[in-house]
Amino acid sequence: MTAPAPGLRVIATRTLLLAASLGIGLGGFGLFMRYGAADGLDAMDWVRSSLILVSTFWLAWGAVQALAGLTTRAPRVARSEGPITARTVVLMPVYNEDPEITFARVAAIDASLQATGHGGGFDLAILSDTRDDRTAAAERQWFLRLLDETGGDGRIFYRRRETNRGRKAGNIEDFISRSGGAYEYCVILDADSLMEGETLVELVRRMEAAPEVGLIQTLPVIVNAQSRFSRIQQFSAAFYSPIFCRGLAMMQGRTGPFWGHNAIVRTRAFAESCGLPELRGRPPFGGHILSHDYVEAALLARAGWTVRVDDDLSGSFEESPENMVLHAKRDRRWCQGNLQHSRLLLAPGLRPWSRFVFLQGILSYLSPVFWLAFLLASIFAPLFAPPIDYFPIRGWSFPVIPVSEASKALLLAVMVFGLLFLPKLLILLDAALRGRSRGFGGVIASARSVLSELVFSAIAAPVFLMFNTRSVFQVLAGLDGGWPAQSRGDGSLTLAEAWAAGHWIVTTGVLGIGLAVWLSPALVVWLLPVMLPMALAPFVLWWSSRPGDPGHFLTPPETAPPAVLTLHRQWLARWATTPLPAVA
């Protein structure tokens, strides 16, 4: 196929948003240079201004995507209205998961599909990469029970690989190479994914109506959150993400994203285009590609297939880590995978936008490092500043007091906070005006949730900044984080566990405050919003892991539970009354 060229609207959107982001970044650079020039420019002023340029550009890039998403509604897409004749397989890769919970999801998806009247066109396959033999034995027991109680023999399948070469991507590749020829489409899920039968049918109808499309990505909504942290994540994903995603779709056009799950692919396109290489060298930069999804989207686009995200689709769900430590552990793998993409920036034949997406992913993990470097450079800046010359005019006996440029620093701080908070406040206003806030408990409840989320994000951001920075330096130091199994269920931390996970952040925060008091006393007030949460990191980790108020941070799946979620809970309740015997 001929590689898809972006339309004029997509090109105009990309150009406008990139120009706006770069303009804001240059504005931050100029403001800080004016501030630094008050006592004479030095090398550290140039360093700090350059760090501000990169960091504000990245903040602006996220903000303008939200603003773009607010300017438009989801476009109408073609869909086939006739009978569905193509066969589709729903793939659920698992890796050391709780089989009872996972197989109950399969049962719920199957029941939801059967309710549509199109269940006969869908198979479901559980693809196990489980390494623990006891868990694998339990998987086989639960699979037999699943077949028995759903009547799924011939349409629900299970297999366990002998080796997990290539991790999840290798698992999918193995299935497609062995069995993909039987199916026109594959829907790829994660072990914590759920999808309504109607959504699965709609995905097939949209693929049928667009033969040039190789992949359609849905926007998953987080569900089943219990802790304060995960409930905030759940609310953010449901309330903000559709707007950010719409802006993303406007920019990416036919070179859209793949997030590795809750998406449908055209099997032939995937088989022909998405064979992943094993990179030369040792991990973390060599070996199997960890963040395979971005690469697979780029390979589909290179082969001429359209990749798009349909943010208007509902009925697509996932779960999230229950505490900040688990989130940071998962993010460690994503960090390694995105930095690994630096090896692929110059890969032959890729679309320019695909290369830019790789660069975005790399920058998303380097940007917090730039912010930390800026803070450290600001603390140590007085050591490099030239002495103030109060008598710059020869022969003039009266001192000349330098003009204060503190207002420029204040304006820069306002700009940074505006980039962080304004898009979310505008999304709140938009939700209130369009009635979308009703699904979040109403205008007052959604406003309370947004304000609470803003406060928590401001407190949690310095803690995540440290976790992120550590991950980056671990990767650069050659440490391989591997692919640890996901920890699900109750994520409550004790204070001792929180201290063990965050004591080094406390040390960093206390040292930062101490250095600021010693070297740059004027900066202490400005640095406290960053350094104080670091000094209190264990308490933040502990508090956010505690059970959340189910009446706060409401989301639509809670105010009106989807059928597939109800089915999943019913299957779990049914199996809880008659558990299987423990595996010896």
Residue 459 has phi, psi (to 5 degrees) of -80, -40
Q: 265: left (phi > 0), else alpha (psi -120 to 50), else beta?
A: beta
Contact between 289 and 169 under an 8 Å Cβ cutoff? The reply is yes
Task: Tell me the CB-side half-sphere exposure of residue 156, using CA atoms within 13 A.
Answer: 25
DSSP-derived secondary structure for 88-128: EEEEEEESS--HHHHHHHHHHHHHHHHHHT-GGGEEEEEEE
Q: What is the pLDDT of residues 464-521, one digit of tens each?
A: 999 999 999 999 999 988 766 666 666 899 999 999 999 999 999 999 999 999 988 8
Which helix (H) or strand (E) is 309 found in, with range? strand 306-309
Q: What is the pLDDT of residue 394?
A: 63
Distance CA 166, CA 336 (A): 15
The neighbouring-strand residues paired with 125 are 91, 157
**Residue spans of the chain under pLDDT 50:** 390-391, 400-406
481 and 333 Cβ atoms separated by less than 8 Å = yes
82: left (phi over 0), alpha (psi -120 to 50) or beta: beta
User: CA-CA distance, 478 to 474, in Å (whole number)?
Assistant: 6
β-strand partners of 53: none
- pLDDT at position 390: 47
- Per-residue pLDDT, 1: 62
Q: What is the largest CA-CA distance in the chain?
A: 100
Q: What is the pLDDT of residue 214?
A: 97
Cα separation, 376 vs 539, in Å, equals: 24
The β-bridge relationship of strands 263-266 and 213-217 is antiparallel
DSSP 543-582: HHHSBPPTTSS--HHHHS--HHHHHHHHHHHHHHHSPPPP
For position 458, what pLDDT does the model report? 94
In the three-class reduction of DSSP (H, G, I as helix; E, B as strand; rest coil), residue 217 is classed as strand
Cis peptide bond prior to 211, omega within 30° of 0: no
Nearest-10 crossing angle of helices 537-545, 228-239: 80
Q: Determine the Cα–Cα distance for residues 60 and 262; give it in Å rounded to an integer.
A: 28
Inter-axis angle of helices 324-340 and 352-380, to 10 degrees? 120
CA distance 459 to 73: 33
CA 392 to chain centre: 53
* Start-to-end C-alpha separation, the chain: 53
Coil, helix or strand at residue 261: coil
**What's the confidence (pLDDT) of residue 73?**
79
Cα–Cα nearest to 576, from 97, 104, 192: 104
Sign of CA dihedral 263, 269, 271, 275: negative
pTM: 0.92
Chain centroid to Cα 496, Å, comes to 29
Nearest-angstrom CA–CA distance, 139 and 142: 5
